[in-house]
Each structure stands twice: as structure tokens, then as C-alpha cells.
Amino acid sequence: VGRRDASELHVVLLAGGSGTRFWPLSRSARPKQFVALAGPRPLVVDTWQRVRRLAPPSRIWVVAPARHAGRLRRLLPQLRQDRLVVEPLPRDTAPAVVLACEAVAARAPGSVTAIFPTDHVIRDPGSFEQSVRTAVAAAAQGGLVCLGIRPDHPATGYGYLDCAEPPSRRRAVAVRRFVEKPDAASARRFLRSGRHVWNAGMFVWRVDRFLAEAERVAPEVVLPVREHRKGRRGAWARARRVSIDYAVMERARDVRVVALDAGWDDVGSWDAACRLRVAAGDAGAPHLLLDSPGSAVFGSGGGRVVALVDLPGVAVVDTPDALLVVPRGSAQRVKEVVAELERRRRKDLL
Amino acid sequence: VGRRDASELHVVLLAGGSGTRFWPLSRSARPKQFVALAGPRPLVVDTWQRVRRLAPPSRIWVVAPARHAGRLRRLLPQLRQDRLVVEPLPRDTAPAVVLACEAVAARAPGSVTAIFPTDHVIRDPGSFEQSVRTAVAAAAQGGLVCLGIRPDHPATGYGYLDCAEPPSRRRAVAVRRFVEKPDAASARRFLRSGRHVWNAGMFVWRVDRFLAEAERVAPEVVLPVREHRKGRRGAWARARRVSIDYAVMERARDVRVVALDAGWDDVGSWDAACRLRVAAGDAGAPHLLLDSPGSAVFGSGGGRVVALVDLPGVAVVDTPDALLVVPRGSAQRVKEVVAELERRRRKDLL
């Protein structure tokens, strides 16, 4: 335990999940992390490159359902077969994180492990690395460390971490409490306080410390996962379907936070994807956008030319079997489109 | 001459031309009349069905460039091989009309012939037939008869016919003069006058009368066309490139007009195409238009589903290699898209 293991950081990437917010480019069989939302490559590939600054392939683990294995191997040729941890069924993040940490602990019980989603954008990988190094040092001393995003607007769509003092990139500070998605007035107060950061679902801890805390506060997750690892059929399905935040982090001892100011974006909708594309000066070559500022074209690379005229702030999403055109301000309504396709029993498009 | 020949009406359909206003569904090799703009079938097919009320296939002629011959045979299986009159090169409408009328005259010199564009919509074929019958009777007596559309708004995009008295569907009235596209104030005055109708490029005349007038006022068209018919190489290219209105009708004697109130629409842009589709209750099944009234989806039938959210009054035009999204009010700007593709040397898309 301690310095040596801690310098050997392990990384766990969470590549499960599914969603409807990026239809038609993302589908039930191809969730958001497999889509090139913010740049030319799928988000999971950007994530892999980013964490390669932190660890060699031998210490990078990916948790995902079996149906993503082929795609992960194609996209991440450096991913080692024995570092792919298969979730038998989706059970939210807590069982997946516990499963991966048990796998890491079996090889390197005292090691520090960092947990990252694979469907976020981080524009400044250098700053990201710096925050992670700070978090690793704090984790080596026993803390369960969250990376917290300093808010730049009073978002009501994220959970917040209320810290004992203003968080920093250079040292970990104690978390006082987890706050669920706040109302607008609370969000404005949090923004002014300087003590609140967004919970981005990125964690760094010693696996032994984490598993001990998890077993204490969430045995309904940990025990079925351990039985599953022993080969007990049906055990996985008994693990509680719950998020890692709710199941463990909100109840754990010695939870700390390190600030992350690295151009983080969780790319929550086509609106956000357009914002990122436009900011990157990439509205989608070779397309032809005539007086359509703030618009962007997303496609599966079929080589079609899209011409957009006098349509500012619109997302065009072009796939072989479905096309979406939506103003950025209406991006949330994509789920209504998906619901309508479900009503029409168009499983082929979902 | 007279009653017998006149009852044997010949019809000439003008199927040449090209345009950029319906890109990307219409292309240089596939002009507007070959596109299903207003309904499920290409406009040329609707036109054929409409004129079949007036004449059997043995008396329906089609003038078109050779490159459209294959498509015409496919779309119009009843078109007789020897009724397809080939334009060697596009030279506007005057040479094409003279060429077709010479061909008709060679078979039935005293017959009445009606000339129709193939890229217009006429919603009421019964009323159309009635106006044509009136025109045929007037033409049998020697008049060169225009079908004139009674204006329902002060359009500045059409030429007008200024008539000696208010035009009617039941009898032909004399045309006083042809008026080029007017300014807005004149167009309002014309609308109020009751004596002005739009020139829709539809004519009915005895071919002998027409050819005599054409030879008198436009020998620079008629003589090269006759030489071309005799097999003189290069003669066609010497025919003046000019419209039939300008070359002949504006100068001819005994020009008359019969009113046409048959739901005529020249479908001048994607705006008009949307209007027709929406009026027909066909926004483009199986597409999914969410809070997008007045919008319509046009496609080449590839079976893709288009989802449009919160975008009222937008045309979506979906083809295998190019996609256009344009608000109806910006439909005129499609030509800028085409110009930009020309600059980019994307001949494959034009």
C-alpha cells in the first residue's frame, strides 16, 4: 500500500449506458460514447487518449455490457482483452463501479483507481491530468476523491458538491454534502458561494478504501457483485440498481473534492454538441451552411452534402435510415421523437 | 380545315428546359417536370394524364432533348416513338414550338394544336378541359389563343395579358397587349382591372395559322428550324434562342385569350411545392413532423424517416447524395447553393 501502489494508477472507464438524447446518431445499440459528437472521433476514443496520459493500457479497465465488446475492441485497439469487465445487465453505475474495482483489487489491492465516464468532453487534457494527480495524492492518503467542476452558470441539471472551503486544483478539500439537482434560486446561490462544484461522476480512490466503504454503506450492491464474480448465476440481477453517487458517495466517510477546470462538458444534448462543434470551428465540412450561424451538421460519414439556408442554431443529424432537423433550443424534444417511433413500433430506428 | 380537323386536336407537350430552383431533387439531367413536386407522381406524368382527356396517344407529341428520351419512355409508356420530337440543343421555347408544329403540320396541316408546359400543376382537370375546348373552337376560327390564368394576387413574377374585355372560360376575347413582369403597383392595378390574366405559356392554334404568323414575325426562328427538319447540319444552332411569347405571340395578329380557372400553379419554388403538399394534406409520410406546420419533406423515396421538430414552414429535400433544408421564405436562395456548388466544382451534385 502507499506510495508505490499509488504511483501505479489504475483507470476504470465506464462505457455502458444508453440514452435517447442523441437520436438518430446514437441508438440503443450505440450509445453516446460511441458517437463523434464534439469532434471527428467518438467520445470514448477521446477519453482513452486522455487517460493514456495517466496509465499504460495494462492499467486501463473498461466496464461495458457484452454487446459493446466488439465495438470497443475496434475503437480501442490498445484495450487488453483481460481489462474489459463485462456487465451482464445494466444495473446503473454502482454495480458497474464495484465490479470493476473488485477486478482491480484482485490484481492490485492497494492501488489507487480513477473512475471516468466515457461520454464527456474535456478540452484541456493537461489541466485534467493536473487535477487527477492532485486527486491521486489525496486518494493515496485514504480519501474518496471526487473531481468537481467549478460552475460557470447556475445549472439546475447537475448535482452539486457543497465543500467545506472553496475547492482547488492543487489540494483536496472536504465535501460537506451532496446536493441533488437544485432549483434555480439555489443554483444561483451555489454559483455565488464559491464552495459548490458540479458532480461530474469522476472519482479517485484506493480500491481497498472504496470497497470497504461500499461494503459498509451499500452491501445490497457489493455482496451480489461479489457472488457474481464467484460465478453465482443470477447474482448480478440481485445487485441494487442505483447510482454510485447515491449508493456510496453520499454516505461514505472522508469524501473530498479536487477542482477540475479543464473545459469539461457532459454534452447533454444536440444543443451542447452544436455549441462544441461551432466553438471548434467545425460546423461539419464539406457541408454548405448559408447564413446559418450556430448550426452544425452531424452525420455518419456517408459523404452526403447538406445545404442549410437561413437556419441559424439548428442541428442536422444525418444517418442512413433517419434524419433529424431540430433547432438547438428544442433539443430536449428529441425524446418525444423517440417515443413516437416507439409508438409506431419502429424498433429498426431505435 | 374547320370542324373535322379541329375536333382532331393535337397536343404538344414541352418537356425540355432545366433549372436550379428544385435542387437537389431536380438536377441538370433531371429537370422539374421529372420530379414529384406536388404529389406522388412526376409533373410530366400528371400532365400526360390531363391531356389524355383531350387526345389519344396518336395525337400527343412531346418535344424534348435527346437526353430525356429514355426517362420519358419510362414515365410515359403510352408515348409513341414517332411522336417524340427531339430538340438537338436547348434554344428556349420558340424553336421547340416551331419544330413540333412543323411536325404536326406535316401529318395534319389544318389541325388545331394545343401547346402545354409539363411542369405545372392543374388541380381541376375538368375545368381545364372546358377552357381548352373553348380555346379549340376559337382556334378553329383562326385565332392564336392563349390560356390566361385569372390572378388571385398581384404577382410580379409573371407576364400578363391585357385583354380588350374581361376574359371568360366560355369564349375567347382579344388580347390588346402582352405586359412583361410588372412592378408591384402595376400588378395591383392589373388585379383590380379584371381585364388582366397571367400568361401561363399554354397556347391553342391551327398549326397552319401559327406557322404563317411565325414565319412572318420570326423568320430567324422558323427558317433555321425548317432547314434542320430537312437535315441541314448546324441549322438548329442558328435558330434564334428566344421564347415563343417574345418571338411570336407578342407580334402576331388575332391573338385571343380564354380564361383558365383550374387551380393552376407553376410551382415556382420549394415554397410553392410545400404549399401544394400541405394543402393536399401530404407533408410526406412516413415522416415525423413535430410542431412543424407548413413544412414538408421531399425525397427520392429512399425510405429514410425524417424527423422535424419545432420548424414550421421548412422544406426538407432528401436525396441520396445531397440534402437541403430551407425555410420556405428563403426558397429563392437555393440558386445560391447551386452557384456555390459550381464554384466548388461539384458537378456530381448539379
Under an 8 A CB cutoff, do A304 and B320 touch? yes
Q: pLDDT averaged over chain A?
A: 93
The pLDDT averaged over each successive group of 10 residues in chain B (350 residues) is: 60 90 90 88 95 96 95 96 94 96 95 96 94 96 96 94 96 95 96 95 97 97 97 94 94 96 93 90 80 90 86 94 95 94 91
Under an 8 A CB cutoff, do B309 and A325 touch? yes
The helix (H) or strand (E) run that includes residue A295 is none
Under an 8 A CB cutoff, do B305 and A330 touch? no
CA distance A327 to chain B (A): 7
Alpha-carbon gap, residue B86 to B271, rounded angstroms: 32
Confidence at residue B3, expressed as pLDDT on a 0 to 100 scale: 44
CA distance A269 to chain B (A): 14
Question: Quick one: CA dihedral B21, B26, B28, B33, positive or negative?
Answer: negative
Q: Is 90 exceeded by the pLDDT of residue A40?
A: no
The helix (H) or strand (E) run that includes residue B173 is strand B173-179
Contact at 8 Å (CB) between B176 and B250?
no
- Nearest chain B residue to A316 by CA distance is B325
Under an 8 A CB cutoff, do A326 and B337 touch? no
Under an 8 A CB cutoff, do A305 and B340 touch? no
- Nearest chain A residue to B323 by CA distance is A306
Under an 8 A CB cutoff, do B307 and A314 touch? no
Under an 8 A CB cutoff, do B307 and A320 touch? no
Under an 8 A CB cutoff, do B333 and A290 touch? yes
Question: Quick one: CA dihedral A282, A284, A290, A293, positive or negative?
Answer: negative
Alpha-carbon gap, residue A309 to A289, rounded angstroms: 6
- Nearest chain A residue to B335 by CA distance is A309
Alpha-carbon gap, residue A115 to A134, rounded angstroms: 15
For the stretch B75-84, contacts whose Cβ atoms lie closer than 8 Å and that sit 24 or more positions apart, written own/partner, are B75/B34, B75/B42, B75/B44, B75/B45, B75/B48, B76/B44, B76/B45, B76/B48, B78/B48, B78/B52, B79/B48, B83/B57, B83/B58
Q: Which chain A residues have a beta carbon less than 8 Å from that of B346?
A: 305
Confidence at residue B6, expressed as pLDDT on a 0 to 100 scale: 46
Which amino acid does the sequence have at B219? P
Contact at 8 Å (CB) between B195 and B165?
yes
- What are the respective helix, strand and coil percentages of chain B, to the nearest 5? 40, 25, 35
Among the listed residues A222, A258, A2, the one whose alpha carbon sits nearest the alpha carbon of residue A111: A2
Cell of B192: 383590380
Under an 8 A CB cutoff, do A323 and B346 touch? no
Cell of A49: 487518449
Span A296-303, average pLDDT? 79
- Nearest chain B residue to A319 by CA distance is B304
Alpha-carbon gap, residue B315 to B322, rounded angstroms: 14
CA distance B25 to chain A (A): 13
Among the listed residues B109, B45, B37, the one whose alpha carbon sits nearest the alpha carbon of residue B79: B45
Confidence at residue A301, expressed as pLDDT on a 0 to 100 scale: 61
Contact at 8 Å (CB) between B153 and B235?
no
**Considering only CB atoms, which residues of chain B are within 8 Å of chain A?**
24, 288, 290, 303-311, 314, 316, 318, 320-327, 329-330, 333-334, 336-337, 340-341, 346, 349
Under an 8 A CB cutoff, do B325 and A346 touch? no
Q: Which of A303, A321, A326 sits opposite B309 (nearest CB)?
A: A326
Q: Which chain B residues have a beta carbon less than 8 Å from that of A307?
A: 24, 322-326, 337
Alpha-carbon gap, residue B269 to B333, rounded angstroms: 10
Q: Which chain A residues have a beta carbon less than 8 Å from that of B349?
A: 305
Q: Is 70 exceeded by the pLDDT of residue A283?
A: no
Residue A29: pLDDT band (50, 70, 90) is: confident
CA B232, distance to chain mean position in Å, is: 29
CA distance B314 to chain A (A): 10
Which amino acid does the sequence have at A73? R
Alpha-carbon gap, residue A320 to A25, rounded angstroms: 10
Say whether A343 sits in a helix, a strand or coil. helix
Alpha-carbon gap, residue A159 to A142, rounded angstroms: 24
Under an 8 A CB cutoff, do B309 and A329 touch? no
Q: Which of A321, A327, A337 sits opposite B311 (nearest CB)?
A: A327
Cα torsion B228, B230, B233, B236 to 10°: value is 0
Q: Give the CA distances from residue A261 to residues A151, A192, A217, A267, B294, in Å, rounded to whole numbers and listed in that order.
A: 9, 17, 31, 16, 45
Confidence at residue A205, expressed as pLDDT on a 0 to 100 scale: 98
Alpha-carbon gap, residue B16 to B18, rounded angstroms: 7
Confidence at residue B286, expressed as pLDDT on a 0 to 100 scale: 81
Confidence at residue B19, expressed as pLDDT on a 0 to 100 scale: 76
Peptide bond into B166 cis (omega under 30): no
CA B12, distance to chain mean position in Å, is: 11
Q: Which chain B residues have a beta carbon less than 8 Å from that of A308?
A: 325-326
Q: Is 50 exceeded by the pLDDT of residue A4?
A: no
Q: Which chain A residues have a beta carbon less than 8 Å from that of B306?
A: 322-325
Mutate one of A27, A297, A308, A309 to test the B interface: name it (highest B CB count within 10 A).
Answer: A309
* Continuous H helices in chain B: 3-7, 43-51, 69-75, 93-107, 125-140, 184-193, 207-217, 219-229, 235-238, 244, 270-279, 334-343
Residue A74: pLDDT band (50, 70, 90) is: very high
Mutate one of A298, A323, A336, A338 to test the B interface: name it (highest B CB count within 10 A).
Answer: A323
Among the listed residues A19, A21, A17, A117, the one whose alpha carbon sits nearest the alpha carbon of residue A317: A21
Q: Give the A:B interface size as CB pairs under 8 Å.
A: 108
Among the listed residues A51, A109, A101, A96, the one whose alpha carbon sits nearest the alpha carbon of residue A76: A51
Among the listed residues A136, A123, A128, the one whose alpha carbon sits nearest the alpha carbon of residue A171: A136
Which amino acid does the sequence have at B74? R
CA distance A284 to chain B (A): 13
According to DSSP, the residues that pair with A106 across neighbouring strands are none
Under an 8 A CB cutoff, do A325 and B305 touch? no
CA B42, distance to chain mean position in Å, is: 13
Under an 8 A CB cutoff, do A340 and B290 touch? yes
Under an 8 A CB cutoff, do A307 and B324 touch? yes
Q: Which chain B residues have a beta carbon less than 8 Å from that of A346?
A: 305
Q: What is the DSSP letter of A82?
A: G
Q: Which chain B residues have a beta carbon less than 8 Å from that of A340?
A: 288, 290
Task: Give the pLDDT confidence of B160-176 residue by residue, as tens digits.
Answer: 999 999 999 999 999 99
Question: What ipTM does this complex have?
Answer: 0.84
For A3, residues 6+ apart whose C-beta sits below 8 A from its C-beta are: A140
**Considering only CB atoms, which residues of chain A are within 8 Å of chain B?**
24, 288, 290, 303-311, 314, 316, 318, 320-327, 329-330, 333-334, 336-337, 340-341, 346, 349
CA distance A326 to chain B (A): 5
Q: Is 80 exceeded by the pLDDT of residue A233?
A: yes
Which amino acid does the sequence have at B217? V
End-to-end CA, chain A: 47
Q: Which chain B residues have a beta carbon less than 8 Å from that of A326?
A: 307-311
Residue A3: pLDDT band (50, 70, 90) is: very low
Question: Quick one: CA dihedral B272, B273, B274, B275, positive or negative?
Answer: positive
Going by their DSSP bridges, the two strands A296-299 and A314-318 should be labelled as parallel
The helix (H) or strand (E) run that includes residue B21 is none
Cell of B154: 398581384
Alpha-carbon gap, residue B321 to A31, rounded angstroms: 26
Phi-psi region of A89 (alpha: psi -120 to 50; beta: other; left: phi over 0): beta
Under an 8 A CB cutoff, do B326 and A310 touch? yes
Alpha-carbon gap, residue B51 to B60, rounded angstroms: 8
> What's the whole-model pTM score?
0.86
Q: Is 90 exceeded by the pLDDT of residue A195?
A: yes
Alpha-carbon gap, residue A118 to A93, rounded angstroms: 13
Q: Give the CA distances from residue A265 to residues A108, A295, A346, in Å, rounded to whole numbers and listed in that order.
A: 32, 18, 32
Q: Is 90 exceeded by the pLDDT of residue A187?
A: yes
Candidate from A24-33, A285-294, B57-66, B276-285 with smallest mean pLDDT: B276-285
Question: Quick one: CA dihedral A316, A158, A31, B308, positive or negative?
Answer: negative
Under an 8 A CB cutoff, do A309 and B333 touch? yes
Residue A220 CB coordination number (10 Å): 14
Alpha-carbon gap, residue A309 to B325, rounded angstroms: 7
